[in-house]
Every structure is written in C-alpha cells, then in structure tokens.
Chain A
Amino acid sequence: MSDVKWGMVVDVDKCSGCQACVIACMAENNIPINLDRDFKENRSIAWIRIERYWEGEYPDVKARFLPVLCQHCGNAPCEPVCPVYATFHNDQGMNIQVYNRCVGTRYCANNCPYHARYFNYRRPTWPETYNNYLNPDVTVRDRGIMEKCSFCVQRINAATRIAKRDGNEDAIAGLQTACAQACPTDALVFGNLNNPDSQVSQLYNDERSYVLQESIGTQPNIRYLKKIDEHAAAEAHAH
C-alpha cells in the first residue's frame, strides 16, 4: 500500500460555492453543528470551507470562491511544533491528527498558513434525534483538542481492508472523500497521485495547476486549478 500517495485537485473554475462539500464533510466526519454563536465567536468548525472573496466595485462585483481544506503538506509547518507528536506524516502523503494524543496547545493551528486546523472550544453536542446519524467509524472529538481534514481516513482504511480481502484494487480505485463525492460540479477530484492514469494525477500536472501560498514551501498534496477568466485573458491579449 505504500505506493499510494493520496492527493486532491481543486478546480477553482468549477467551484460554484454551493457548500455541498462542507455539509457532506460534516455528515461524514461527525463535525458538531455550527450554531449562530459559533460563527459569531469565530469558533465554527468546518474541515473544508468555501472562502468567498468579492472582486470589483459595486455594482460590478463578482464573487470568487476558494475551497480550503487541510493541504496535507509534504513539508508541514504544523508537524514539528507539536510537543506530543499528535500530528505527523504517514507514508501515503497524508497529514494525520491523533486525537487521543493531542493536549490542545494550539501551536499547530498558529503555524498553519492555511487556517485549516480547528479547535474544539466546547464539548460537541447534537440534538438527541441526531444521535443515530453519527458515523460510527469516526471518533467524536472532545473539547480541548485540535481537528482537521483527515482525507476521510476511515474510508481509506475500509477500502484498504476490502482490497486486501478481495485481492484486487477495485475498492481503492473507486475511493472518494465525502467532499469530492458530494461536489455537483466535480470541482474536487480525489485520488492516488502515484497512479499516472488517475484523473487526479493528470489534473495535478495540468498547466493551470498551482499551489496555495507556494512561497512558504509546504509542498502540499493538494493543488488548485486556476480560474479561467475570459475577461482577464482578453485584457492580456490586448496588451
């Protein structure tokens, strides 16, 4: 299995900002329901979030959307600063958060250039009727620890088990994270970067692809595809 390197490509051009990925992630990963209060206090938790930027002056404005999740950096700033090894790197290119080991110093969150790490200020609660909806494969995080996108590690583990049982790689080939699965425009593509035939590895090397905040040198396993802006392209031609 070590020949696998999980990665993702985010096509900014395709993203419509619908937030389906956010909801899918919450359902999959037992993220507590963000209340009004949480947003006002800036304590909401969303492993993937859609950042919305306005471009231009009113009335000629455009909304730009940028889905941001943990970039699963190859050279992650969050890792060396953790005193208890609660976050580390595995051999499949993923950045792993170990909830049990976390003591909540929040240093990793400070050092994450993508703001991709979230802290549980409160003990998570759900309305009683929701209790049976929680995903049994995912730990519910108690207060006082960090959490972040895990690339749906529970799905990866399950697929690996099935692949081992069946003796073929079909389960792994069809693997999707919750966000990629839910994306109606296929803006999020997840897969094995080491497989040259996979859609993700082809998009990964697309000429439009770029790395978020490349100057920090984090070498992430997630790349973005540039917005195709006809207006800007026309302008560039004119010059």
Chain B
Amino acid sequence: MQKTDGNEVVIPGAPATQEDLTQELLHDSLQTGSRMRKALLISGVLSILGFVGLIMHFASGSSDHTTWNFYAVVYFYVFSVTMGIPMASIGLRMARAQWRRPTSRSAELFAIAGPINLIFFIPILLVAPPIEGRNSLWMDWALAPWFPDIIMMVLLVVTGLAFLYVSLLPDLASVRDHGIGRAQRIATILSRDWNGTKSQWSIHKSALGILGAFYITAYAMTHLVLATDFAMTLVPGWKDPIFPAFHAVTGIQMGTALLIVTMYLLRRLGGFGRYFELEQFWGYSRLLLALSLFYFYFWWCAFILFWYARLPHEQAVVALFISGDYADPSVFSRPQFLMFLGAIGFSFFLPLLLLMWNVLRRSIVGPTIVGVIILIGGFFDRMRLYANAWSVDQVGGHGLEYIPEINAPTISDLFVMVGMISSILFLYLLVSRVVGFVSLWETRQALLLRFVKPWGVGHVSVVIKPE
C-alpha cells in the first residue's frame, strides 16, 4: 500500500485488497457451476446448427450468389460485431483510459471468435461472383478477390488471437501458480516461462502496443477489402470511398454495444458487479454515443453527395439502399426503405435520443438497453447493405438499371446465424474457464494506479498515468 504526503490512502468500497482480488478472480470465478455447465452444453449443441445450415445451403445446389444474400447478411453481421469488440478495448488501451481495465478481458476474449469467422468466410469466397466486368480495387488481378481477402482475414484473426494470448499471459501464469484442477494444467502449458520479471513486463507492454496497432490496421484494411469486394463491387455505379470506413465504424459501434450487453449479463448472471460498475458503463455509453454519431455522419456524407449531385447512377444506389424503387407509390411497401428505417432508427436516432439523456447515459440499465437497440439496428443495417447488394445480378454497366427483387431468407440462414452465435459463445465460455472474465493483472494495476484520498471535507481521486 502506497503512501502520499503522509496521508493514509483510502480505497473505499469493494475489491479492497490485492488478496481479495486474487481470491475472487482466481478461485471463485473459475469454479464451473451447474448454470455454466448448462450454458456450455446448450451452446455446444447449437453450434452444430451452423454447419447444418451450411450443408443445407450447399445442398440446395444454387451457386448463384443472389440466393446467398441472407447468408452474407448473417455472416457480415456476426463478423462485424465480434471483430469490432476488441477494437473498443484496444482503442481505449491506447488512450490510456484506466477505467476500462476491468472490462478489457471480456472484450478481448471475443477475439476467440476469429476462427469461427474464418470458417464461415469460406462459403462467401466460394459463392461471391468473380470481378470480371465489375469495378474493383484489384485491377483485374487473376487471384483477386479471393487471395487478398483470405490473406487479410487470416491476418486479422491471427493478430486478434496473438493479442488475446499476450494479454492473457500474466493471468495464465497466476492460474498456473495459484489455480487448481484442469485450468491449472492448461495454464501451465500456455503460460510458458512467464515469471513477471521486469524485462518480461516491458516486452509484454510493447508487444501489446505493437499487436494492438497491428490489429487496428488489420481491422481497418480487412473491412476495406471485404466491404469493397463483397458489397460495393456487386453494384454497378456504386463508388463510395467512405463506405469501408462506415463499415468499420459500425462494426466498432456494434461491438461496443455487445460489450455493454456482455458486461450487463456478467454482472447479473456471473456476479461481477464489482468490476463492471457505473463508471465502466458510463465510459462505454459515452463511446457508444460518439460512435452512433459517427454512424450518422458517415452515412450522411455519402447520402448528401448522391442526393445533391443527382447523377443517375447514384440515384439508383440511393434507391437500392435507402428509398427503394421510386415507381412504387407507397413508401412503406418498399422493403429497402423499411430496412433503411430500421437501420438508421435503431443505430442512430433511438440511441441518440436515449443517450442524450444524462440520467440514462450515466446508468447501468440505460446503456444496456441502447446496446440491445444498436445490435438490432446493426442487423438491419447489414441487411440493408448485403441483402440488397447481393440481390443485384447485373454485371458491369455505368449504373444500376433496375432495382432487383430481394430473395427471401431461408431456414438455413437462421441455422447459420444461431450456429455462428452459439459456437462463438461456446468458445468464449470455454476459454473463460481457464482465465476468467476479468483480468487479474489489469485490475491489479488499476488498483495501483488509481486511489482515492481525502481532500478538504470530501474525497478526490488521484490518477497516475505512467509513460
């Protein structure tokens, strides 16, 4: 316990001491209760559904990409959400926000979804139409888009897993040294020779920094190539350089939303109330508000141009993704417009209205509700983009000549969605059996770097930001 100016340091409230912390995070939270067993079992079984859905899709025999439109919706939704969560944590780590420390683990654990995303990416590659006769970033390169895109995906997944592993390392060592049972055996293998020496910590710190920067780059570039190759290229006349950035930012937005929901669930079901406190929810809800504003800004930047310049090929893009067919007199019978309303309503207007309200923003339930809303809105948004873009069967041309019919989703799309989500959940819970949902070393450092001391009649907190 450190001292300043002769004043005894006060840390009021919960996780009081380092010993308590170790007890809670290393022993109590690693016990696998019956509820956890059930969750593991159910998610494990449901995981199979994903593969069933895939087989059903392939068995239907259609290699026409327009029938895979809702598969693309599901895939890009899950991909955007799960790969976006670590971004929220890495970004805050770079900004040296101390409050994010207890939440980092639950965010970064989502990097475990990488392999699942990789597996379900393969059908996308197989059914996506070739780039001949289409606009493309790849200059008619023979291997494009399959080769560069799979490389980018692998890079992103591997970077995510590497980042996760490095951030787990100190905790794995703690489990090795203090844990029990199977977790300890696994941790002994994984933790290698981590002893927490000074040089190890300094390498650890720079490794996290470099891998974090690398993840951000890989994330941005993967979204760039995927959004271009599997959405923009399919629609003739759609040139929208901000779209990849929009795609990446909405991914982070949905990721942050899911993180808040995860935090809430862990708080309610896992008993981690001490670690996911008001301050964490407040911090993420501010981030969520900012990201929702970005959603609108990036969308608007594209829309204002398409609307103002009145170029025919861009008006067709607006019809495809926003308004629907102008010929249809009833606005609400156009599926494109309904999808758009759902997307912008749930991703921007509702979150803005709710989070603008101080009482809701600075609460635990408020951000959670908004998180759920944004997850719904995000699905609408991916539906608006991919279901429409994948329905286009026109190849080449200066602009889209007609607004295509959207192929309805099938039961196999639902299976794939349930399967992907369950398998990610299964892996998430499985890994949490070894390392827990809250990072021990991060939380310990947070306790060291921040404390409350008396000041006049009240208290002030002292924040230390080492170089």
Contact = CB atoms under 8 A, between A and B. Distances in A.
B311 A217 contact: yes
Interface in B351-399: 398-399
Nearest to A111: B309
Contacts of B398: 215
A124 interface: no
Closest 10 CB pairs of A and B: A217-B312, A215-B398, A217-B311, A75-B310, A217-B310, A216-B311, A215-B313, A215-B312, A80-B308, A77-B309
A216 B312 CA distance: 7
Interface string B305-322: 000111111010000000
A80 B310 CA distance: 11
Interface string A204-226: 00000000000111000000000
Contacts of A215: 311-313, 398-399
Contacts of A216: 311
B312 to A, nearest CB: 4
Nearest to B237: A215
A170 to B, nearest CB: 39
A167 to B, nearest CB: 41
- Size band of the interface chain A makes with B: under 10
Interface string A63-102: 0000000000001010010000000000000000000000
A215 B315 CA distance: 12
Contacts of B311: 215-217
A217 to B, nearest CB: 4
Nearest to B398: A215
A95 to B, nearest CB: 15
Q: Which of B312, B313, B399 has most chain A Cβ within 10 Å?
A: B312
Contacts of A77: 309-310
10 contacts: A75-B310, A77-B309, A80-B308, A215-B312, A215-B313, A215-B398, A215-B399, A217-B310, A217-B311, A217-B312
Contacts of A217: 310-312, 315
A218 to B, nearest CB: 9
A75 B399 CA distance: 18
Contacts of A80: 308
Contacts of B313: 215
B236 to A, nearest CB: 12
Contacts of B315: 217
Nearest to A215: B398
A75 to B, nearest CB: 6
B12 to A, nearest CB: 61
Contacts of B308: 80
A119 to B, nearest CB: 22
A215 B399 CA distance: 9
